[in-house]
Chains A and B, each alone.
Chain A
Amino acid sequence: MDLAHSEEEEEFRARLREWLAAVLPTLPARPDPLDWPARRAYDCGWQRRLYDAGYADVHWDASPTQRLIFLEETELAGAPYVGANFVGLLHAGPTIAAEGTAGQRDRWLPGILRGDEVWCQGFSEPEAGSDLASLRTRAVRDGDAYVVSGQKIWTSHAEVADWCELLVRTDPTASKHRGISWLAMPMDAPGVTVRPLRTLAGSTEFAEMFLDEVRIPVGNRVGEENDGWRVTMVTLSFERGTAFVGEVVACRRLLGELARTARRNGTWDDPVLRRRLGRLSAEFQALWRLTQANVSEAQATGGVPGAGGSVFKLHYSHARQELYEAAAAVLGPDALDLGRDWTLDRLSSLSYTIAAGTSQIQRNIVAERILGLPKGR
């Protein structure tokens, strides 16, 4: 147990802090949260700034501890979050870095790091949401290409993406986990149709995607043919293990903001509400510590976070929803104003216990993979 940072890590923190203080005041105003093309431009612009300053690869090349410092400092400084680059930086990038060939890494990683290319995630299907292995989008080999047909859904950022990490069934006769492959699909390929879906928050951050005989070069397959399930597990463990790290820091900042608002508007005098905020603060502090524990474990075991990510995600997603409920109690009538960030965020938070595997799926993972309980119904 050592929570202290090395001299080198503290130097990294000081340099980063200085850079953030210099660069943040020069950023343009944030775009309308419902305007995805504008958000893409803004998020990619920020990513480019990070790249030019040498911070872009912090998500998968730096040591996990440096990544924690990066996320802590950028969040505390109020810097933009990954936004539209979420899938590229936190899913597809780390997966290609871990499982791709040298050529694939050269082809895709620089575009992600520079903010030139945005990725989306083509995992879920109408009939295969959390039961991901039931996916039916099929890919038939034709010479040096796969011909892909099917339908994807809940594809975040599809409208503004250049590439899609696509899961397809390459062997329909194999057992459901065995016949899957992981492909990088260019979104401008003929046969790709994207139809944005409107979320309950009014945003079009995700979409349906129809694939009609889309030709994808065999060289775009990451990992072996029919080994996509294992590759996907790598992707998902990144998603559950580290992709939410920055958000915990964000929640701690939001909670501080909420306490200040409560002190200003008098709701702090309500002991029930005050204690509720105290409890949430203890939970987010503990979630931050749990993150450090998971990162330490991942660092010691070779970088890929294990099922511990599910433990984290389970509590985090519920705690964050609780945070917005407490916020509504503090804000009173303002909580009903869609013009407030809090209100939009409260609506968005409803997806947390569903996206990236529902809480029910996470509990199965914890029970089966960590506690060793039998698979079953």
Chain B
Amino acid sequence: MDFRLTEDQRALRKGVRELLARLFGREALRAAVDAPSPSLDRELWRELGAAGFFALRLPEEEGGVGLGLPEAVLAFEEAGRCLVPGPLVATHVAAGAVPGAAEGSTVVTEVDEGLVPWLDEADVVLGDVAGAAPMRSVDPLTPLHRVPGLVGTTGVPDTADVLPATGVAVLLTAAEQVGSAAATTEMAVRYAREREQFGQVIGGFQAVKHLCAGMLVRVELARAAVWAASVTADPVEIAGAKLLADEAATGNARDCLQVYGGMGFTWEADVHLHLKRAWVRAGLRLPAARAEEVVAAGL
């Protein structure tokens, strides 16, 4: 047993991080936020496709990269870290089944929890979208439609409800949450080391330090859960990982906002973008109430 990343996995993570920094750095993020209405950057999508982002888990004989779920998790962690917009998970999961998804020439989205992200911009929509109505999405970079009568189900679900294909989507969403949680932790720590108040950097104050330490604990716990679930692909472990990753992403964005103080409440700081995306992801792909039920059913 060795839980650490292999050499190849470390190289992959580094490669994806560099690719995304080039394709969707901070300037691109802010430009996308300031655009009059969110539009999906087709060029970005094709470049991601060309780099193998969507075809990562397809076998090589089908034109894919031939890697596994752990590698996909690392790639999606990086996407979550820099807030790449678009239905990345749905397109990735559709690769091999929907023509053009693997190459990034087809944008695929999906009905999930009574919501459809990026409905107007997608080429292929999986699920029944009859009567879908646009809403003003809380996340400026994730347009949402609401599908009537499809509000998340309640009650005790069968563990089998989390089918393998759904499980992959849940896990990759959790991986994005981990990336975002790690990013807000780094943002908070960087800010705490620079910002001075009362004649010293605020990172020297125990109250601020303890917020930051709590953020790291959430990231580490969620990451261990997500990485392990990517190896076991166990539905209960995946549900637990999503639960902890949602908590890490939303909790850390809030704490990051607190460390930023008044600056954190501004549109100008990126903190709110992480928080809003984290909220959206937490509301999609097995939200907390059902994730808790799935894990409980496994007891």
Contact = CB atoms under 8 A, between A and B. Distances in A.
Given A286-B240, A363-B213, A281 B220 contact: no
Interface in B118-163: 156
Contact of A275 (B217, B237, B292): B292
Given A285-B237, A368-B209, A311 B296 contact: no
B216 interface: yes
B292 A1 contact: no
Interface stretch (A42-50, A74-82, A287-295, A334-342): A287-295
B74 to A, nearest CB: 9
Nearest to B289: A275
A182 to B, nearest CB: 28
Q: Is the interface of A mostly helix, strand, loop or mixed?
A: helix
B243 A282 contact: yes
Contacts of A293: 3-4, 220, 224, 227
A311 B3 contact: no
B224 A286 contact: yes
B203 A374 contact: yes
A289 B225 contact: yes
A364 B209 contact: yes
A281 B299 contact: yes
Contacts of A99: none
Interface of B: 1-6, 9, 70, 156, 185, 189, 192-193, 200-201, 203-206, 208-210, 212-214, 216-217, 220-222, 224-225, 227-228, 230-232, 237, 239-241, 243-244, 289, 291-299
Interface of A: 1-5, 9, 65, 68, 255-256, 259, 271, 274-279, 281-283, 285-287, 289-290, 292-293, 295-297, 299-300, 308, 311, 314-315, 360, 362-364, 366-368, 370-377
Given A1-B4, A275-B289, A367-B209, 20 more contacts: A2-B1, A3-B228, A5-B1, A68-B1, A259-B299, A275-B292, A278-B294, A282-B241, A282-B295, A283-B221, A283-B240, A286-B221, A286-B225, A286-B240, A286-B241, A292-B224, A297-B3, A363-B209, A371-B185, A374-B200
11 contacts: A1-B9, A2-B2, A3-B1, A4-B1, A274-B296, A278-B297, A286-B240, A292-B224, A366-B213, A367-B203, A374-B204
